A and B are shown apart, each in its own frame.
Chain A
Amino acid sequence: AQTVTQSQPEMSVQEAETVTLSCTYDTSESDYYLFWYKQPPSRQMILVIRQEAYKQQNATENRFSVNFQKAAKSFSLKISDSQLGDAAMYFCAYKGDFGNEKLTFGTGTRLTIIP
């Protein structure tokens, strides 16, 4: 079974600075997808960024980028120029290859932005 580990329960960063959230996973599959979801206090999970395992290039979405290390099974999220609206729980999630539709989530990292 796949597992996702987020070892940082809480992180904080000064507004406008950069922060990196860590995620590791365990799988025996060669093709899979990785995601970072944001969950603000309203509880609505919002997709931040996604990465296909077969792609070597790291995904980027505006201020959000990932560092995907397939051999190390590591998938960290970097948030640049942090903004107050980035404060939320961040969950790393894994999805297996076609036919295995469910997401497996980590336990989350609570990100606080310091004004």
Chain B
Amino acid sequence: GAGVSQSPRYKVAKRGQDVALRCDPISGHVSLFWYQQALGQGPEFLTYFQNEAQLDKSGLPSDRFFAERPEGSVSTLKIQRTQQEDSAVYLCASSNRLRTGIVYEQYFGPGTRLTVT
């Protein structure tokens, strides 16, 4: 179907508020990734799902960050008690599952710009 979509595109939160960022992957894509991109930096890996299973969450910066993908499609990244250092663009990407010998591509969404004031 269409590309990866993310909502909202922009979010302003007061410090201490909870936020939820949504990602709709390309239909049929098994793998889903979340990245955090600080201003002027490259994206940094946060977490990875294969279907509904969260296989890697090594990049989540603290226990205030939580991601889920309960039905193996739409994913939500939740940040509790937001801090100013959480201000960044949050990118979602999806891909077909890698098979040995097959090069895969991650398709990225437009991102959500989070500003914590």
Contacts and interface: CB of A to CB of B under 8 A. Distances in A.
Interface string A13-55: 0000000000000000000010001000011111100101000
The 8 closest A-B pairs by CB, nearest first: A105-B42, A45-B108, A102-B45, A43-B111, A44-B110, A105-B43, A107-B42, A91-B42
Contacts of B42: 4, 91, 93, 105-108
A33 to B, nearest CB: 6
B39 to A, nearest CB: 11
A43 to B, nearest CB: 5
How would you classify the secondary structure of chain A's contact residues: helix, strand, loop or mixed?
strand
Report the contact-size class of chain B (Cβ under 8 Å from the partner): 20 to 34
Interface of B: 31, 33, 35, 40-45, 48, 50, 55-56, 59, 89, 91, 93, 98, 100, 103, 105-106, 108-111, 113
Interface residues of A, number: 22
